[in-house]
Structure 1
């Protein structure tokens, strides 16, 4: 049956049936999962792939729907090819980013693939992944921002057959159990994955009995053709041209040097090209995104979100990426070479989301929002067990809010821009871990001021009950560079981490690897607020009052940021008018003082030249030369730069040193 002549009514029916299969697979996985990160947080996904390895059916709202499954690359095909001939009952397992060509992106994510047969022919593949509690490595939970190569991050599993003809390989199971601090929990989640694949197998078999293999095969292609057409139609509505944007990670977790990500988005004729030239070389820590040079979902999600925002009828499958092409410089942060560490790749992926948001926002300023909070922090607790060993669980996947956009405030304490992880209920956390949660709520005044306010960040404060415990907070970002505001909106507040706040033993920390804590210590994480949109002085005073009454904004902040004075819970109209008349607003993108200070020395054009020169060096030389350059340029600047900006003489001297270094490196 030709996909061109596929009956549209039947296609809609089959598309919904396929999506229902993936949703039932997800429900099975969540209900049978073992760990908090599966049954509560829902860090898993399921999908159906065609014989070409591309996903043609994916759930819209269950699991981490929206990013991991939409790989437009033949990653499943690569894993299948590595395992040779497949038979009914075989299941492939892998977590290796490089050997799976980007299907897996860090080692705790275990991916499974099962072929679904009709007679002796494969008609589709079931796929699922789960984030496991621990797969070995240097630290509990296997993820550390300061790991320098993938060998430190745990057990690497090239594509292998976990199941052969329906029987689990005892050798593979032995390796899995021997390389984890939480083997029983891992195996519980693995069996839940197998159950989800079995659910998919049964449901696909039912569809085969109703429609036949030929019709289902044609429907797979037709669904992706339909999605591709929808994406092209949306892109034709975007003004043609090239749009460039750059942003930074605070640092590489091993130094105080920021890490740059840049993109040029070129749109025309219903097509879009993403060029990441200007992004930093791969770092010697764990922020690298293993895209393998392909249009990976981690690098394209914002385009998918744009298509589905402007056309909500577009089906969620790999066809959405057909109008897209991409260039990722080999050896860069977005296309690292093996054995680069990748454990905290989500931190860089979130910043990629931000720069795509910024670039598309130049084309569609009334559609795209200001920057979201820009961080997802899975806060991990590791505590000793009486029987020996350690328990490893995620307390919360702490996030911030979404950026404001024209006509709408951002969402407070919720950001599904990169994933839609759920929070763990406080009661469940306290029942399973040795912590007492003291506060878990929104962070007042953190959302960027604007005509439309940015979403508030979160605050989580907990007391440690078990001696000898460790806390890990992977993915901490926006502690320095704030989530930017748009159209004159102000940036959100940066994040923070403090232990024993207000006490003699207070410690204010930046990014952490393994934080050793003792019983009685109080740990407080605060996530950034998102950027605002539009001049804060144009916000209706009544809307500011509502924010104050709801606890999103304090009275002092209402006065300082919005020019709204309150007396006894009411608006002081006279003082408000005077305050607003005396203030002026900003225009365009507002990055905040720290980014402005950085750009005053390291201008965008200079950074483009620097990264081009570094990528021309041998891989083994790039990071050392990068450090040498920054140490030279920053030598006479304030030690807290860019939090403490340089004066004019210092800035001019630093710029001259940078030009000298660029000439020497080129």
Structure 2
């Protein structure tokens, strides 16, 4: 490759990434739902199509757990309409068993034609505030099949040759409790794809299709080379790990997810053989969702400057036996899979890789206590609040760094909604949103602190809660301690509160009722007894760890004023190392 070719590949690849960023900005600025315009729970991407299969070539940093799931959705949509694609078409899909994850994540895809052939496809994958079905918000812990999760939509055209299909559009809006949101959200996704189509057309006119294809192949080859170099730096071998989902909301307990990491040269195989069979509850993970969480975990072990495209995925083989929690058969319910068991899938991959390359893994888990509320505005329109502020917390440590930020890396592309905008968009008040001590996993590098969020709703609400990470909390790595347990309380008033053990279904709260989330912190990395005592003292000063916690978890002795007692600390740590306690 000449220097000119190399520079041109970077220009064209950067142009497509910029187009994906423009798509993201368009959705943010034009959507109606706070899930879009505040939390940014969506991803934009661009795919190349060679007439047989699509390839991911650009992606905006959106909701990272959509990383790979959008790939399969685009392939399925193209397959469905491969003999009936026209300029101006827009396809929509959400079927979990046809390239989807869970039903609330809709995908909008538009073909870009050149010389009368579809060559590139911009796409938006986004979480909708409601998707029909029995339960507002789309999370139904009573679901026993996918039709009880929500409205299943196989690939269908919502725009045909530039003309909106009113019948299809009305079908979607008519089956949605939040028609005042969903119509605008769909328009924003369609508009983003339209903008991308124009920008891509300009790019093709400027550089020609053969030059663009050559540049994209160069970028894909580069990403694969970088990922292979990372894997090749790990020792060859095998390591098996397991983790557990607390429950499936249908009576199942401690559901096993197993993974064996096999490194051979620059190839990585991740084998989920030994994982529990699919369950009755709605935590089963369709294969697209499983692959997305797998690649999220792998990406967390590699340099962050490697471009995310098709080449990233080439060195990794995934074995996910059909009929298990990680690859269920239709029509098993899957509504909560992007939280549970998605978090555990990423966790077990990191545990398995950590057995071979411990310095490359971090606690990438997001074991959310999923709690959401719904009610009505004064004019009678419904609102659904997914309580993104309550999801925050749980970020774990990695080699070289303590846990940081409010979102665990699996949710990095989601932004913490503005408290002020939340209080404008919903009849709610955020009473508390702050770190709390002694909920974090201890280690040489500790996890992010636990976090408490209290939301007071000013009107009557119904509240559903799906707990995770209570018994099986976020895991630590390389000898680090596990994170703290999650808790959720539903409070009628100061004197009356109900703690949710596993799930609550449409629990009524009166005006001024409160939803209280106590988020367990992230797991640690490395032996807590090796953490410098002065850093533990700083954690106590900052309120992340209590004085009692410093002694219990780190063997660090502080006096009543918070000063380090060095001799006592040294003796305590030596005693624990000698006795193993």
8 A contact 2:346–2:364 mirrored in 1: no
| 1:529-558 Cα deviation digits (max 9, x unpaired) | 111223322222221121112111122212
| 1:91-126 Cα deviation digits (max 9, x unpaired) | 00111122x3x2x21111111110001231222111
Q: Which has the larger radius of gyration?
A: 1
- Residues 497 and 333 of structure 1: CA distance in aligned 2, closer, same or farther (over 3 Å): same
CA shift, 1:313, in A, is 4.0
Aligned to 1:560: 552
Aligned to 1:541: 533
Aligned to 1:458: 451
Query: Structure 1 residue 299 and structure 2 residue 294: aligned?
Result: yes
SS in 1 for 2:372: strand
Aligned to 1:508: 499
| 1:336-366 Cα deviation digits (max 9, x unpaired) | 1111111101221111111111111111122
8 A contact 2:492–2:510 mirrored in 1: no
- Residues 418 and 277 of structure 1: CA distance in aligned 2, closer, same or farther (over 3 Å): farther
| 1:454-475 Cα deviation digits (max 9, x unpaired) | 11122111223212x112334x
- Residues 403 and 586 of structure 1: CA distance in aligned 2, closer, same or farther (over 3 Å): farther
Structure-2-length-normalised TM-score: 0.93
- Residues 373 and 268 of structure 1: CA distance in aligned 2, closer, same or farther (over 3 Å): closer
CA shift, 1:389, in A, is 5.4
- Residues 412 and 545 of structure 1: CA distance in aligned 2, closer, same or farther (over 3 Å): farther
Aligned to 1:91: 90
> Within 5 A, what are the aligned runs for 1:78-117?
78-83=76-81, 84-98=83-97, 100=98, 102=99, 104-117=100-113
Mapped to 2, the partners of 1:454 and 1:156 lie a distance apart of 39
Mapped to 1, the partners of 2:80 and 2:348 lie a distance apart of 35
Structure 1: 5+ residue runs without aligned partners?
591-666
Aligned to 1:32: 30
- Residues 72 and 114 of structure 1: CA distance in aligned 2, closer, same or farther (over 3 Å): closer
Aligned to 2:17: 19
| 1:4-32 Cα deviation digits (max 9, x unpaired) | 99922211121111111111111111111
Aligned to 2:403: 410
Decide which moves more: 391-400 or 41-50.
391-400
Aligned to 2:188: 192
Decide which moves more: 218-227 or 523-532.
218-227
Which has more strand, going by share of residues? 2
Decide which moves more: 549-558 or 259-268.
549-558
- Residues 391 and 198 of structure 1: CA distance in aligned 2, closer, same or farther (over 3 Å): same
CA shift, 1:565, in A, is 1.4
CA shift, 1:384, in A, is 2.7
8 A contact 2:489–2:515 mirrored in 1: yes
| 1:121-173 Cα deviation digits (max 9, x unpaired) | 22211111221111111111011233111101221111111001212111011
Query: Structure 1 residue 493 and structure 2 residue 488: aligned?
Result: no
> Within 5 A, what are the aligned runs for 1:179-578?
179-255=175-251, 257-291=253-287, 296-307=291-302, 309=303, 312-346=304-338, 347-369=340-362, 371-372=363-364, 374-388=366-380, 390-396=382-388, 398-467=391-460, 469-474=461-466, 476-500=467-491, 503-512=494-503, 513-562=505-554, 563-578=556-571
- Residues 24 and 529 of structure 1: CA distance in aligned 2, closer, same or farther (over 3 Å): same
| 1:247-290 Cα deviation digits (max 9, x unpaired) | 00111112251111001111102111111011111111111111
SS in 1 for 2:223: helix
CA shift, 1:399, in A, is 3.0
Decide which moves more: 222-231 or 164-173.
222-231
SS in 2 for 1:459: strand
- Residues 372 and 554 of structure 1: CA distance in aligned 2, closer, same or farther (over 3 Å): farther
- Residues 92 and 438 of structure 1: CA distance in aligned 2, closer, same or farther (over 3 Å): same
8 A contact 1:413–1:456 mirrored in 2: no
Mapped to 1, the partners of 2:483 and 2:154 lie a distance apart of 42
Mapped to 1, the partners of 2:114 and 2:252 lie a distance apart of 57
Mapped to 2, the partners of 1:578 and 1:416 lie a distance apart of 37
SS in 1 for 2:399: coil
Aligned to 1:636: none
Q: How many residue pairs end up in the alignment?
A: 573
Decide which moves more: 235-244 or 479-488.
479-488
SS in 2 for 1:130: strand
Aligned to 2:55: 54
Decide which moves more: 219-228 or 5-14.
5-14
8 A contact 1:6–1:219 mirrored in 2: no
Mapped to 1, the partners of 2:399 and 2:75 lie a distance apart of 42
8 A contact 1:245–1:355 mirrored in 2: yes
> Within 5 A, what are the aligned runs for 1:135-214?
135-214=131-210
* C-alpha RMSD over aligned residues: 2.4
8 A contact 1:148–1:286 mirrored in 2: yes
Mapped to 2, the partners of 1:403 and 1:471 lie a distance apart of 28
Mapped to 2, the partners of 1:67 and 1:154 lie a distance apart of 20
Mapped to 1, the partners of 2:94 and 2:37 lie a distance apart of 21
8 A contact 2:368–2:469 mirrored in 1: no
8 A contact 1:400–1:413 mirrored in 2: yes
8 A contact 1:374–1:528 mirrored in 2: no
